[in-house]
Structure 1
Amino acid sequence: MTLSEFNAAGALARRAADAAPSLRALPGYVGISLHAGTIVVEGEGPELRARVAELNRVDQVNGVDQLNQAGPADFVLAAPASAAVVPSAAELLASSTQQLFEAYVRDVGAAGLQAVTYTNGHFVIRTGGTTTAQTGPASSAGLLTGTDTTPATAPGTKPKMSAADFVARYANVALEQGSRIATEEDYFGGEGYIIDGRTVCSAGFGAFGPAGEPLILTAGHCAADGAAKQAEIENPAGAPAAGGAGSGTAAGTLGSFGFSQFGGPGNTKVASDGTNVGTDIAVLQGIRSGLDLQPAVTRWDNPADPGPTSVKIVGTVAPFQGQPVCRSGRSLGWSCGTVDSVGTWVIAGPDSLPPDYDNDLRALNGFDSTTVKSRPGDSGGPWISGNFAVGTHTGAESDGGVQTRAIATTLEDATGRIPGGVQLQLFLNKPTLAAAANGTLTAGEPITGHVDAAPASVVAPNSKVRITVQSSNPGQKPGQPLEVPVDASGNWQFPAPEWAGSFTFSAETVNGFSRSGAVSLSVKVSGLAAPVITAPADARTDGHADGPGLTAVETIEGTGEPGRTVRLSGDFTGTGLVAPDGRWSINVADQPVFGKVSVTAVLTAPGQTDSPSATSSFTVIPPVPAVSGIRDGKHLRQDSLPASISGTAVDGAEVSVSMDGAAIGSAQASSAGTGARASLQPRVPQDLAGGARWSVPFPAGLAAGAHRLTVTQAIDGVASLPAAVAFTIDAAPASAGTPDETPAVPQQPAVQQPAPRQPGTPAHSTVPAQVPVAQVPVAPSTVPPSTVPPSDASVTVGGTPPGNANQLAGTGAGGLLYAAGLGAGALLLGAAVVIFARRRAVR
């Protein structure tokens, strides 16, 4: 079971405990248990069925129905197993463990009785050997002594009737043979303590007395019927749970014994009528000054520093069959399992004597587990379910020296028997303040905060936050501390004062006498209400939703108090005045920003605290990136492909390049240089002049034929529309002299142009025609596209002067046309740069 599963099971047990009182009062109710993540209510009848259905429609907090809330369907009504048993005319049906226990003691007696419990739809009477409390020296020697005995009755007495005859009267009661139960007086609840220098026990839970004094709850039998006086802290390093020798070395004073009860009131043994069922609880009081009791249980992961892995306690819960539980103690340490049964247990008192031990039997309300393990010295230690306290350890049953079950006292029942009452010490986190808009609120607006549950599963029920004013502004009247409730989710709130300025206060989470410790918190209170941002509206707030999205932001608009000044911050800055009609507008066209954008607005006024802020977030789609060198419709020769693909984009944008639908690389556009990058980089301040360059390697192995290049740029994950370029790769011509030689441009026959002959060159030598590359758009009526030579060396194919069937031999006129083409291209590109610069992101 994981820690989260354990915590969830504890919360489920708490839900069952809250519902149990209302279920017990209904006719037909038999019992309640936990099974496979559900709360099984055993019983039948229309009233019980209606209540179970109601519990699945509501949540409960501390036993009180919280109506109009959807609760999980955790409750399941199941017919009791005993319902299938039809008693004969001579048989009875047991209805409760208390009724059955009283009847057994009255008709059979307490001798040899171990427990009366309810489990798996029927009642169980366990008989067998009871035993004396194992009181041994503080050293480990002698703590494991004792032999099992199974007497039938106390010496010289005759039972009124046998246990078998008693059980035979009931149709839903079984008889089990048990082994000896041993109380384990050797431990401290999570850590050990030494009693009067002689014996060792374990402390269970921290608590508070009626006046708020710190206490420790432990097992009543550790007090030796009130004879025990002083308790000393056992050095954890020497405890068996920490791998020590169990020497019981003292590490300072702990406190002294106060109230204790083992068995009936006044430590009485089982009465002849069985009516004095009691408990096993003791209180350690007068806790040493400076000792800081923790509302947590050690798991013994690190005895020298148990805090980080300790389990925090936030309340109590009753035990149920099937409930996951864990126990902690100084002898065996941490052990977990499930509750097997709940009922009344009989334990031998300190005056029990061998061989039968039946002369001092004590009865108590408790529960057992065959999967949880323990050892002598674990007595008094805590049993928990999730973050809830369930009980304190009482003893164990052993058979031939092998433990068969562990037994604990029910904590909720035990604490109710302590005179004056006690409060369990609870774990509470300090409160925190919810983030107010720019730390400012308007007068009377709720100041909100939160109390975290972690590392516990929930905040202790009925917790509050105590508010105390620490400082005041002129005219502010200090008041009494204010306590505000904390809801089930940990939220709390109270109204801000009616005056403007800084408001400082202390806040502390409290629950009875449990305290978190105070923290100092402050907020600003303004007399100005927050403005409202109404435009721009964004159809793609996450950058992926349907809708056109924003391509530019020209103005930020909104409403506010007339005559006040609006100040913008964030991705846009500026100020403006609220008009008499309550509207304002600030022009931000000169601040182009792309990606996920936010802007914050406040109202200002001379001599006043700025208003709370209003923030609006939206998405601005980047422009289409530019691709240089390869133009739509261009032909490239396969043996002279460019080394790279490049272009321009918004500075800091992540450029993604795909070829024929498959990604071939990405790069970050940068005004400082180019280069392929593997991941998106943070947006950086941009220099708008000239744009930012990007470049990725040209993919190797592209086959001859038509191809499609697409390029997008993204800022903050917001992608632009793609730039698409279609081009063709022409097969390279075969080597000279071969019969299958083909021209570079098969559509038109190549015309060989005469070239100056170098000395020694044969008269019949020719130079292949260059494949035409259109780099700059020129009107066809002025310059044919095929005559424009390449202007980017990175994509130039071949190295000879231009020529084809429509061209004359290279002359000076060719150079003039080339220059004219460049001039026209520069004019067009210059206009594009001017327009593009107004849409560039500045961050």
Structure 2
Amino acid sequence: MSTWKKRAAYVAVCSLALTGLSGTFGTAAFATEGDDVAPTSGAQFDTLAQSLLTEDAVQAVATDADGNVVIYTTEPTADIGAGARSVAEDNSNVLVEVMDAPISAYSTNDVVGGAGYAGLTDPNATSASLCSIGFSAWSPAGAPAVISAGHCTEDGTAVISALTLPSGDTAGGAPEGSPVTLTQPLGELAFSQYGGPGNTAGEEGKADSVDISVIDVTNPALNTLPQVTDWTTSASEDLSTSTRPVRSVGAAEVGAQVSKSGRTTGFTSGPVESVGWANVEGRQVSGFLSILTSSQGDSGGSIIQGDRAVGVVSGGTTVEGQSVMWGANIQNGLALTGGYTVALFLDAPAVTEQSAPYFTDAPVSGTGPAGATLTVTPENGTPFDVAIDANGAWSFPAPGTEGNYSYSIVAKKGFDTSASATFDIAVVLAPPVFTAPLDGQLIETSLKAVTGTGKAGATVTLTGDVTGTATVDGAGNWSVPADLSYGAYSITATQETPDVIPTQNREFQALAASGGATVAFQVGPVAPVISSPANGVAYVEGSGPTQVSGTGINGAVVSVSVNGVSAGTATVANGAWVLSLVGQLAAGSVTITATQAINGITGTAATSTITITAVTAPAGTPGTPAALANTGAPVMPLLGGGLALLLAAGGMMLIARRIGATRTN
């Protein structure tokens, strides 16, 4: 869409060194000639102001350049509160101003996509090119910038720019053709191309046929945001209070909805019909066509597909009365700017909440923008960075000392920074660690001591099947005597350092101690001995062992298996046990396993692997089928009819029977 010029009416503006929306209120509602003078500074003024601000209608209390105290109220003079009226009537330097409406909070310094701006050739220009901001951006060095359409610069002649007052733009409710109010400077033109290189006509099919401009933001008061306004809050003059985030940059997808934001028609949406190249007033522009409402002044405005930046408004027309818009491909345009990038919205990181306190050095974890860097700032300490992985997860260790801790976290990716988040954690001493026994371990014969590691100087307390306390030595080790024989056991260990735990954390320490660290283990017998068959012995098939025997602990129950299949049990008596096997062992490798159990606890296993060798008898030997002699007659043709066939069949059956009888002899 080409640039259209409008006369710009400057309100409270002197050149482009603007000071905002400052102006005068006119004459005071009333000024008295009382004998007293109200304080205009110091503690007395502060007390007076705070007192007056408690009255409902009073919006502000301030002093002006003439030494007057000004009370700003939303009520008519006759209806102001008794306190304000008394102060105004009794003091000669008190003025009362009546406001049209209460003061509302809004920012005129937040710059968002879709907002209006004017491009001017010089500070004294009386006309301007009115366009819309596409997206907030970053220069190659990370300085703030904004992206718009190249044709908005009049082929690079509109080199300076200023923001327009939202309520004075058509999208903000101003009638078409109304004077436009400039609010404050925006920046200076850094790059512009409309069509081909050098603002030539460009060529169809060429990716360098674009419509893009970049404005370096030179006003330090402005805050560029990676968001696009929907224009619903223009009456407040703050377009940033209702926006859509921009999280990525990409190509427009045919068939999907896009939304456009601009100073003339506001926020409108429609489907993408096609992608390619268009002739926009004699210049070729790569991009896409969408069916949605746009008009003069929307040029350069942002086009998003979901939360993805896909283009800026380049031109438009109608098709059978239906408004259509041509959007310039933003990726092709950015590629020519020398390294400018669209500013992206990063979601604020979050910590994974847990109801229990953190143990010392345990991971504190959460989520954030994938691939970004998390900057963690402790309330007391040095900030540090943590990588956020491709799945959006991050973690860092909790402090190694008990206490309450506060953190502020923010995600950063390139020049983009998320909003910050804060959280508090309580850290208690982690449970000690068992080095012997280990959880699930089978210990042979007996347990004489429980050992582990912990925090030097802490007191370790054992409960369960072993009780006692120990102090962790300087090397971080501790040991508690034990005397456990065969059986199944469980022990829990906690540690405490009350001299360093703040009083407010004792409740958390109690929670930690109640869980502690627990191991469940068994003390069992050693493996029995398999005396016969001895490991490695080979047997000939048919002459293999018929029993398994060995030694063990008196009274233990020995369980035997052959190749993983139970073969039965035997009880150890006089230090020995024996178990008969059923039948001969089959040829091949045979593994015999034996364990012994005492008090229901099974110890480790003993194994013996033997080999059973198969024997193949020579042909013709007894018990081995030999080859039969060929006793059959030559095959002859059968003569005759059914009787001959019947006789032949009977003969064949007889022969078969005789052969069968012969094979069984």
What is the TM-score when the length of structure 2 is the normalising length? 0.48
What is the TM-score when the length of structure 1 is the normalising length? 0.39
